[in-house]
Amino acid sequence: MTSPYETIEVRPVGGALGAEIHGVDLSLDLPDRQFSEIREVFRDNGVIFFRDQKLTPEQHIAFAERWAPININRFFTHVEGHPKIALVLKEPDQKRNIGGGWHTDHTYDIEPAMGSILYAHEVPQSGGDTMFASMYAAYETLSDGLKQTLNGLRARHSSRHIFGPARAGRKDDTVGRIKNPELANQDAVHPVVITHPLSGRKSLYVNPSFTLGFEGWTDVESKPLLDYLYAHASQPSFTCQFQWQPGSIAFWDNRATWHLAVNDYQGQRRLMHRITVAGTALH
Ligand code: SIN
């Protein structure tokens, strides 16, 4: 089969989502044609991966800003001298990782980040993969009846229970890596099913980390249906898993995926730089 792309090589990663893009040097100012082909792969695959990249923080920022302005994460510590780049770090003596449960970044914001660009600096000898799940697949495989019910619902999302004072009070070893608990003071309401602004496809937009419940329902009333949706959405056939090397980059679409950082590398260091790219209100 001939490739639809002229300037890049694309290799699918999972059946439901994910594609590796080869033949690109992200440290350069990409020609418009190549950038638009990368945008198409991003739109169609939910998460795209690059290998063997060598980016300075400035080049990482320039690539991100080609997509949209940067949405600075207010809870992560940042790379020294670069407030736009969040540090995703786990030291050998730390037990907890960041992002170790299924989630979508920034759903607690009124205008959630559209995507996140994670760049690997140091990775464990084995383990430390990131998993992704397709929220297109999750939605599209529901029954017509449940789709209809969900299409009429909105859900409440919050950062309070994850980044707020209660977490800071726990004094686990994420202290020092997560900051500003006082800024975890804003909740957001989004449709449970969104229409993706680039692809036009419908996507399930609730996640186990930040969604509290449905609008107009109590958390207790919401839980059984949310639990059903979470079990459905995380089934292996809707996921892919990415094995990092130094220089690898993953760019995931927060409107179409969940992700989870696997915490299976105790005693080893993992150091990543993450930039979140701004999105718009969701419909
Ligand atoms: C994150 O949730 O943004 C971090 C993912 C990872 O470290 O693999």
CATH number at residue 34: 3.60.130.10
Residue 221 domain flag: yes
Distance CA 76, CA 85 (A): 9
Residue 3 domain flag: no
Amino acid present at 109: D
Strands 78-79 and 115-122: unpaired
| pLDDT digit string, tens, across residues 192-231 | 999 999 999 999 999 999 999 999 999 999 999 999 999 9
User: Looking at per-residue confidence, does 171 or 52 come out higher?
Assistant: 52
Domain membership of residue 130 as a residue range = 9-277
Q: Is 47 in the pocket of ligand 1 (CB under 6 A)?
A: no
Stated pTM of the model? 0.96
Q: Is 261 in the pocket of ligand 1 (CB under 6 A)?
A: yes
Question: How many distinct structural domains can be found in the chain?
Answer: 1
HSE-CB for 161 with a 13 A CA cutoff:
8
Measured in degrees and rounded to the nearest 5, phi and psi for residue 139 equal -70, -45
Catalytic residue among 60, 103, 156, 157: 103
Catalytic site residue 103? yes
Residue 224 domain flag: yes
E strand intervals along 53-181: 78-79, 82-90, 115-122, 130-134, 154-158
Residue 266 domain flag: yes
Residue 263 domain flag: yes
Residue 68 domain flag: yes
Distance CA 260, CA 133 (A): 9
Residue 1 domain flag: no
| pLDDT digit string, tens, across residues 106-164 | 999 999 999 999 999 999 999 999 999 999 999 999 999 999 999 999 999 999 888 88
Residue 43 domain flag: yes
